[in-house]
Homo-oligomer: A and B are copies of this chain.
């Protein structure tokens, strides 16, 4: 199989964690051994967990030497792998969706890790132009590693763009949950595991935004209880007064803002907007992406529907617990 195939596996893996990785980008990595057999398909899953390259190296080494016991903490893991790789990844190939980082951030440079491991070649989906991370390809080349860059720029660019928007100010997306027939109502639309996944994404956000209509109709907590995580701050956009005993106020350790305007307060950077038809129509020109869940049922009780005019581009689709979900952006005309 060719470079594009392995990179596609890496891209696909990374999309599963889109929205969960701030302040890091969503990155995927595939390692093949010196003979071209796939050793691991991994992604950066969350800040505080290993970068994609380190995670992929760990998974590959754990297959090649099942006796290794890896430390959990990324810095310790990095050191451990540096000392215990035993040349098992010598002459391997790394396929990464983004140029491996050159810098010491929370963890040391991934480019240096790849050099230490003795990889033969690194196939890079797209170059990293961010100031503090760029230059990884140079490190690899100077070490005599065969480097190919910009193999799937468009696909890797779509994967990276939410992070770039976040880096340049803020990233916002509208989460919508519909049935197969396009309906929704005040009840639960999606299956349990899909809601756990949504709460995971909520917990990575610093702000969740709803309209007054949702607050009055659903009285939601807007927290991340299904993953036992801290709730994001909440913004209620409404012209009317909000019921004082609304559930949203009962969530600990979070701020709730009520305002008339639809503008996101400046300090927030990873913003999830939720709602139904009216809020979608009000917000569709303000958000960067759409995350749409679609359950697998037609339901006669679905009494609400979307009445909007939007042409979207499907960037990635997955399935969780018999529920389809997709990341979309607006079509560029």
Contact = CB atoms under 8 A, between A and B. Distances in A.
A148 to B, nearest CB: 18
Contacts of A181: 178, 182, 305-308
B309 A296 contact: no
Nearest to A319: B314
Interface in A302-320: 305-314, 317, 319
Contacts of A308: 181, 298, 300
B180 A180 contact: no
Nearest to A40: B1
A284 to B, nearest CB: 9
A183 interface: yes
A32 interface: yes
A141 B234 CA distance: 63
Interface in A287-302: 292, 294, 296-300
A314 B299 contact: no
Interface string A1-36: 100010000000000000000000000000011011
Indicate the size class of the contact surface on chain A: 35 or more
Given A182-B181, A324-B326, A309 B299 contact: yes
Contacts of A331: 296
Contacts of A309: 298-300
A207 interface: no
Interface in A155-189: 178-183
A32 B35 CA distance: 11
Contact of A292 (B180, B299, B310, B312): B180
23 contacts: A1-B38, A1-B39, A33-B35, A35-B36, A35-B37, A36-B37, A36-B38, A178-B182, A180-B182, A180-B306, A181-B182, A182-B305, A182-B306, A296-B313, A298-B306, A298-B307, A298-B309, A305-B305, A314-B319, A314-B324, A317-B324, A324-B324, A324-B326
Given A297-B311, A297-B312, 16 more contacts: A1-B39, A1-B41, A35-B36, A178-B181, A181-B305, A181-B307, A181-B308, A294-B294, A296-B331, A298-B310, A298-B312, A300-B307, A313-B322, A314-B319, A324-B324, A324-B326
Interface of A: 1, 5, 32-33, 35-39, 41, 178-183, 292, 294, 296-300, 305-314, 317, 319, 322, 324, 326, 328, 331
